[in-house]
Every structure is written in structure tokens, then in C-alpha cells.
Chain A
């Protein structure tokens, strides 16, 4: 049996599961459902889903705990779908290995888009050193960025920041994560650096820096690159 396109839904709310099943089936995915964390773990191990949609408020255990257990061996994308909407909860989930986070109520269109991005990413980053998004091209071999074939003058930090976000296209990267990756340990609290560089980067990369399309702000959490 080909389980390549199976998505596992771990959620105790029947209505949400039904909604997801209808929506996702209509979009060509196979669905596996679990109402408890325990069942979820068993299903994840048996049906080999390409992606897991996980609720945080499960009857038998905290979703974060399930997330941690899953992440011990499950490497494919996990999207959190929860009513918990505080920044703390979101950051905690992302820091514990969730690829994305959507709060209920959600738009099914949005969910489908996130699923697609997450699956595409998990299929492996191509070895192609050339990343292109619309009119923007990043050449990792020569460390150059072109927009509409015009070479952009980026500082090395701006370049690293852009590549980090672009490589994680569609995924929210928390402030702390970005700061650690670009500036190293000990800079996690220096969010002002990030703000300043992000503002610079937008001016150079975006068509209209006031309405960014590539470098999106996730309020209070981090940034997301949308190709």
C-alpha cells in the first residue's frame, strides 16, 4: 500500500476531524485519524504519514509532549492546529520541532497552502545552488542575489539572513532561531539587530517594502519566507 500521501490527523474534536477529512480528501490526500495522543503515536508509527496535523489540547496528554515524542524519530513535517493562540504556545511548539502553527479557527485554504509547502520542503532540499522565487534569484555558489537580473548589493549578514529564510520557505522561523543561526549563541535577545537587518533587506529585496510579499512578519513570533 502506498502511504506516501497519507496525512495523520491527531485531534479529539470529531467535527474538526470530519472537516479536515472532507477538505483534505477532496484535495487528494489519504487520511488517518486519531483522537488521542496514544493512538496518534501508534498511527504515526504504523501508517507512515507524509505529514501530521496535531492538536495541542488532547484528552490524554499535552500535545507538546506528543510532539516531543514524535520528534524522537519522526522527521517529516508536523503542523500544529490548535485553539491556543498565545505567542508563548506558538514559540514553544515551533522550538520543539513543529514545522508550522495554525490557530483555530483557520481558513482551509491557508491550511492547504501550509501543507503543500511543508510537504514540498520535506521532499528534500534540492542540491541546486540556485534558488528562485518570482523575479528573485539566489545563487548560493557565487553568493549573489539578483532581482529582475539586477545584482543586489547585500552585506554578508543580509545575505545569510535571506538564504536562511529562503531555504526554509513557507516555514515560520522564530526570532531566537534566526538570531542564533546568523549571529550565534548569546545574541538570542538582540532582536533589534534582526529588526534593523530585516528592514534593510526588505528595502533591497521587496518590490514595495511597505507591503512585503517575500519576507513576512509573524507578529511576536518570527518571520516567514513566502516564495
Chain B
């Protein structure tokens, strides 16, 4: 084994650390059993923290009326318990929301393994605590060794008491700090005797049942060992993190193969403990074969899988009829160093053969992988009655009836032709029928068909007829063979068929997933993605769904995506919010808020949650369905994530663009605003202060006037620009005589045009056009003004307006310097100013022109004239009215 730390592992540990640092820290006061003083020690620690000035409060405490403990509570802030009624019973639980809202530095929560009363948000208290930690609040809590999931069975074996309130090992392993509260057995018994733990009557009972010295010692050993192992593991982690070279004992990788039997639970716990003490990775696998699971087996399998998850064991399902090769293949693929399997129970000769075969093959094929075979314990003897192999009679009544009917029909047909064919032939006919039926029906009906046809054959066909008695020994042999062949044939066929069915379902799912991916890839926009997602959920899971996405500021939206088939209440939204925040499913068939009618799943992408999907499921998903569901969800979430990223990228672009614009605006506008203001200020100051000759005064007045006009023009442009930017320009076309346009522009710019020749060319047959007069007037105004600013004085500015096939054409030509060819593409850009432009000007005029033209669906281009000068060509789509003649006629 290589001694260097695995880079992936290092990265994982760093990410893990980072994630942990935002979370609150969990400190567990760990003891071997009740009465060792965990709560007491926790309270003492709390008081010390409080003295240091830490904001520490009690979220939930169970003093068991112990005086010493109660004394310690005094002076600490206590969050009132949440009292509510559930199904007419009054319930008290820790007030989770109050704690989170109060947001102390540390909160004390006693008895981590506690199971909450029904109606609470979470089933277990540790889930409450996880939520508190997620909110960045540190938690002090208490745990007894018997509550650890992986130890519960051993504890039950030692003490004979089954522990119901268990805690997933993961929680304990993930705890930031574990403080062992230890007491020698004698001291504990002493305390019990003094009535410090329980009231005297209860003490006696407790000593008899649980607190026997042997028990206590065993529990104590277990607790000490766990803490010691923990320290060992911490050292290992520390070395790994600090990249200390050392004997990396890890690299060990356990693979535990489980099945649908109750023994697998023990196997899992045992393997987990082994992995923990070996410092090894652990993974579990279930091999799905053609074996048809009874509902009971299915439930047990789900329990096993859930247990694996609780124990923090990674879990996978593989499909293969050959269990041994499936396990070995998987182990090799996953680089497992050890395979752990349970020893199947030997019930009879057949299973013994099977077992030796299984074990032998496993050992033979596993090569250099170690194989552990864990024996079954005597507990399972209780389940002896289950040991017979019972075919699954789960088929519907209709199937049985159909089978009976077909057998009878065939028998009757054969009966009528019995004289033509030998009775032996009839058996072939029936055998054939059974084989055919096996293709369509389950093993139950086939077993029935085989038995029924054997009886019918015997009764009606084998001589002597109408009796079950068989005369000839060869007939008897044939009957036995018939029955055996029918059953075997039928069962085998139906098995093949089931396997095929499973493969088909898998294929269908793969195909569905492929389709989903394909369709999602072509979709664009959240809405379309949601439509596709909901369609697929409906199609492949037959479930109505509702999707709630996050908003841009990473909160869950308060409305569902359109097109949903289910209605969510306000309460549902708060559940959805919880799911979104905690990245964990909630609602029906989950551990959180199971009383809700909907089930909520987070849609988790690579970087956080994209939203929540709510479905109304009628029965909990089977394992296969669950995996398929998760696969679909991850596809959908991934797509949402890409959509969000795309939006974000777009926004960033817009933001940087607007920042750039803002800077330009700032530079250009501040200049343009200050110059005229400075002129006005300066000139008016001069006028106010000194007595200048009339001539000078007149000149100053003139300057003020010019500055004001300039200022006014700038403001007009800015206002127009902001109208354009905000999209508030709605052209209102009305009939317009283009002569009016030209006249108005000439009139408003009269003084500026004094030194220019504005030549307007409009054809005589120019019709009325429907345009927004104001907008086009502003366009012309800006264009003419632009020409005035760049063209030499005395030159001609030509304005040509005509109508041509659906477009109003406006052309403005000047004899200025024209454009630098490199700049032609930018002249209409906001704040763009020609390199050779004179001082002044904001670069707004032409961009407003373009905006106003575009608002009317028109286009504008700029080009250089052949003999020098600039030319603007506008084309605006218009409707025209050549009414002159009509109206004249009307006049008479």
C-alpha cells in the first residue's frame, strides 16, 4: 500500500472541514448508561461557559427531578417547551424554531436519541439538533452508549432490553467533541442506592432489571472502547490532514453484501463496527436476482437499506442472477479489500448444498479479496416458520381464474376428441398449455395450473377414468413426471420472464432517463424545463408534481412553476422552505413532517439547491423506483443549475455593461453639464458684480443664453435616452404630412441653421404616412443638429424624404468630414464620440436617433458620401394614404 495521502481524500477532508466550520459545533456528553451524571456534567460545563461570558441557554433539559441537577439549572436561560395537542393528547417538545430564532452561541439539548412525539417537524431529536447546527448554533447534548445504532443489538444481548430510541452512528462520529462521563460501577450503584438517580421504589426495580454490576461493566467497557476508537480515528484524520507520513493503515475497503432477510441488519451493524475499528471504508451492496420479493421481504429489504444509510454506509444495488459473480465483480470494481457476507441458515440438505456452493464459489472467485462469513445468531430461530420456500401467491384472483378457465377449456376439448388421440397425447397438450401460461402468469397460478392439469389428466383421461386411481405403473410414473415437468417448466419460465421484466423495467428507465436528458438539453428557460420535468414525472411515475424554484437571492420562490396539477398551501410552502434550506426530503414517507400529504424533494445541483419538487405519492417508492427518481431529479436539477448559471452569466454581462455605461455617462455628462453651468455662473457673477460697458454685458447675456440652450438640449437628450432605456417608448402613429416634419425641424433649428443651407427634397406625389410625428421629428432634429456641428459653415445639408414600397425613406446628407471607416459600426453606440469630434457633445444624439427609429420598426445606417461628407439612410415601415383625390371628389 502506498503511504502517501490520497489527494482526493485530502480534498474531501478539506471540503468537509470547510462545511463544518460554518455549522455549529456538536459536543456530546457520552456515558455508559443513565445515572452517570451526563446532564449534570453538561450543566456544569454550561455554567463555566456562562461565566466566561458565553451566550448559553437551555433548549431542553430532563432533570429527572434530581436535586443536584435541578440546582444547576437555576440561573440559566430556559427556552419554554412547545406545548401543543396532537390527536387530543397534549404534547411537550423542544421548541426548535424558538431556539433558532433566539440564536444563542450554545444551546443545551438533553437526550439526543429521543424520539419526538407525532406531529413534530422531525421524527427524531437528533434531526432537530442537526437543524440547529445548520443554523450555526453550537449544541451540547447527552448520549448513552446503548443508543448508538451499531451497538443497540449488542446492548440488547448484554442486558436483555431492546433499545428503541437509537441514534445513527454518523451523528456520533460527526460530533466535534465527545466527552466521556464515567463512573465506576460501584459508585453508580451507590448513587442508585442513595436515590440520587431514581426515586427509591424505581431504584429497586431498576437495579434488578438493568443496573446489574455485570451489565454496567459491559456497558462501561463498550463506552470506553468507543471513545478510545474515536480518539484513534481522530489521530488518523489529523495525520491525514496535516499530511503526516505514517503507517496508513487504511486503504482497507469493506464490502458487505446484504439481502432481504432480517439477518442482514446484524450483518450491517457488525460490519460497521469492524470498519470503524479497522479505520476502513465501508460499502454495502444488494444483488437483485429474478427472485420475486414478497411484500414482507420487500419491506425488510427497505429496512436493511435504511439501516445501511443510517449507519453511514454507502449503498448500491446491482442486478444479476448470479449472486456470487455479482458480488465479486462489484468488489473488484470498487477495489474492496474484504467481502463480508452472512452465513445462510442451513435448513435442509438442499440449502446446505446451496450454501456450500455459494461459499465455495465466493471463496474461489474472490481471488485476493478476503472473505468474512458471519454466522447467524440464535435469535432467528424464532422465525422458523418462515423457512419453507413459498412461491409468491401474489398474483391477482383474475389470473388464477383465467388459468383455471383455460385448463378446463383445453381439458373439455381434449375430452371430446379422446377417442381420436391417445390419453398420453393429452398430457403433452396440457404440458404445452402450462408452459405457454408460464409466459404470462406468476408462479402461483402456474403451480395451480400444473396441479390442476395433473389431476384432470389423471381423473378424466388415465384409465380407469373417473377415478384418481392409476392402474399401470408406467402411467403412475408418467403422472409423476408430468407433474414435475409442468411445475419445473412453469416455474422456470416464469422466472425467466420475471428476470426479463426486471431488465425491461431497467431498460425502460434507462431509456426514459435518456429521453429526459435529451429533451432537457433542447429546452431553454426555466419555464420550459419545468414543463418537461412535470411531464416526465407524470409519465414515468404517474405523479402530479409542483416545482418551486429558488430566486436570484437564493431564497425559495413563493410560487410554483406554472402547469402544476397540485395545489400547495402556505404550510406546504414552509415545508418546502425547510427542505430547501436543509437539503433533505420531507413530508409523507420521510422522517420529517411525515403527516404532510405531499412529499418534498430538494433539487440539488453541484452548487446548492435549485429548488424543491413536491409530489403526491400514494405509496412509498420501492428501492428501484427511488434510485430512478433520484436519477431523474439529478438530471432535472442539473438542467436547472445550468439555466441559473446562464441567467447569472447574462446578468453579470449586463451588470458589467451597465457599469461601463455608468462610467462613460459619468465622465461625459459631468463634463457636458459643468461647462454650461460654469458659463452661466461665471457670466451672471460678472454681470452682478461690476459695471461693465453695455457691449460687454450684452455679450455675457448672449453667453448665458447659449449655455442655457446647450444645457436644455443635454437634458432633453438625457430624458429621451432614459425613455428609451426604460422601454417606455410606445410609438403612436398618426397621419402625417412629411412637409410638416421638415418645416418644424427647420423652424426649431432656425438660428442654428443660419449659416447653412438646408435643402429639403420631397416629391410632389408624397402620400400621407402613418408615423409617430414626435419621434420622427426628434430623429430629424438630432440628425440635422449633428450635421450642423460637424459640417463646415456655409455648406449645404440635404434632407430627402420619399416613400418607396412600404417604407418611408429619409436621407440626410452633409458635406462634413464624414466618418472614419473604422468607426462606422459604432456611430450609433451610446456615448460613442468620433475620434476627431470637436469638444462638447455627449454621444447621445445618434444613439437616440437609432433608438427612436428602432422603436418604430425602422432601420438606420450611416455611410460616407462619394464626394465627402456623411449620409444617414433611414427606412421606417409605414402605411400610406393617397386620399387627396378621394377627398377632393367628396368636396365636389
Contact = CB atoms under 8 A, between A and B. Distances in A.
Interface of A: 87, 105, 155-157, 175, 191-199, 209-212, 217, 219-220
B742 interface: yes
A211 B750 CA distance: 11
B696 interface: no
Given A87-B774, A105-B712, A219-B777, A193 B742 contact: no
B744 A219 contact: yes
Given A157-B891, A210-B742, A196 B774 contact: no
Contact of A198 (B737, B760, B774, B883): B737
28 contacts: A87-B774, A155-B891, A156-B891, A175-B734, A191-B734, A191-B735, A192-B735, A192-B881, A193-B887, A194-B735, A195-B735, A195-B740, A195-B768, A196-B737, A196-B768, A196-B883, A196-B887, A197-B887, A198-B737, A199-B739, A210-B742, A210-B743, A211-B746, A212-B743, A219-B744, A220-B772, A220-B773, A220-B774
B480 interface: no
Contact of B773 (A197, A209, A210, A219): A219
Contacts of A191: 734-735
A211 B753 CA distance: 14
Contact of B736 (A105, A195, A212): A195
Nearest to A156: B891
A129 to B, nearest CB: 24
A219 B778 CA distance: 10
A56 to B, nearest CB: 17
B887 A217 contact: no
Nearest to A218: B744
Interface in B715-759: 734-737, 739-740, 742-744, 746-747
B744 A217 contact: yes
Interface of B: 708, 712, 734-737, 739-740, 742-744, 746-747, 760, 768, 772-774, 777, 881, 883-884, 887, 891
A211 B712 CA distance: 26
Q: Which 7 A-B pairs have the closest CB atoms?
A: A192-B735, A217-B740, A220-B774, A195-B737, A191-B735, A155-B891, A192-B881
Residue of A157, A175, A194, A199 with most partner-chain B CB within 10 A: A199
Contacts of A192: 735, 768, 881, 883
A84 B760 CA distance: 31
B665 to A, nearest CB: 22
Nearest to B745: A219
A165 to B, nearest CB: 15
Contacts of B735: 191-192, 194-195
A198 B735 CA distance: 12
B498 to A, nearest CB: 76
Nearest to B715: A105
Contacts, number: 51
B743 A211 contact: yes
Nearest to B775: A220
B558 to A, nearest CB: 36
Contacts of B740: 195, 217, 219
Contact of B883 (A157, A193, A209): A193
Nearest to A202: B739
Nearest to A158: B891
Nearest to B742: A210
Nearest to A198: B737
A194 B735 CA distance: 9
A5 B872 CA distance: 52
Contact of A105 (B708, B739, B760, B768): B708
A210 B743 CA distance: 7
Nearest to B719: A85
A125 B803 CA distance: 43
Contacts of A196: 737, 768, 883-884, 887
A212 B777 CA distance: 17
A199 B742 contact: no
Residue of A105, A175, A198, A209 with most partner-chain B CB within 10 A: A105
Residue of A195, A198, A199, A212 with most partner-chain B CB within 10 A: A195
A33 B734 CA distance: 40
Nearest to A211: B743
A110 to B, nearest CB: 12
Residue of A156, A175, A193, A217 with most partner-chain B CB within 10 A: A217
A1 B76 CA distance: 86
Contacts of B883: 192-193, 196
Contacts of B743: 210-212, 217
B891 A210 contact: no
Residue of A155, A157, A212, A219 with most partner-chain B CB within 10 A: A219
A142 to B, nearest CB: 20
Residue of B712, B736, B739 with most partner-chain A CB within 10 A: B739
Nearest to B772: A220
Nearest to B736: A195
A193 B883 CA distance: 8
A196 B740 CA distance: 11
Nearest to B712: A105
A192 B712 CA distance: 33
Contacts of A217: 740, 743-744
A12 to B, nearest CB: 20
B582 to A, nearest CB: 53
A15 to B, nearest CB: 13
Contacts of A155: 891
A175 B884 CA distance: 18
A209 B739 contact: yes
A110 B232 CA distance: 95
Nearest to B881: A192
Contacts of B746: 211
A219 B776 CA distance: 10
A175 B734 CA distance: 11
A183 B433 CA distance: 96
A219 B708 CA distance: 23
B739 A210 contact: yes
Contacts of A157: 891
Contacts of A156: 891
Contacts of B760: 210
A20 B758 CA distance: 36
A209 B764 CA distance: 12
Nearest to B762: A210
A135 B311 CA distance: 107
Contacts of B774: 87, 219-220
B891 to A, nearest CB: 5
Nearest to A86: B774
A135 to B, nearest CB: 20
A199 B739 CA distance: 9
A208 to B, nearest CB: 10
A16 B884 CA distance: 47
A191 B768 CA distance: 10
A198 B773 CA distance: 16
Nearest to B705: A107
A24 B708 CA distance: 21
A211 B760 CA distance: 11
A134 to B, nearest CB: 18
Contacts of A195: 735-737, 740, 768
B739 to A, nearest CB: 7
A210 B764 CA distance: 12
A155 B743 CA distance: 25
A217 B883 CA distance: 20
A192 B736 CA distance: 7
Contacts of B712: 105
A194 B734 CA distance: 11
Contacts of B739: 199, 209-210
Contacts of B772: 220
Given A191-B735, A192-B881, 15 more contacts: A105-B708, A192-B768, A195-B736, A195-B737, A196-B737, A196-B768, A196-B884, A196-B887, A199-B737, A210-B739, A211-B743, A217-B740, A219-B774, A220-B734, A220-B772
A209 B760 CA distance: 13
A207 to B, nearest CB: 13
Nearest to A217: B740
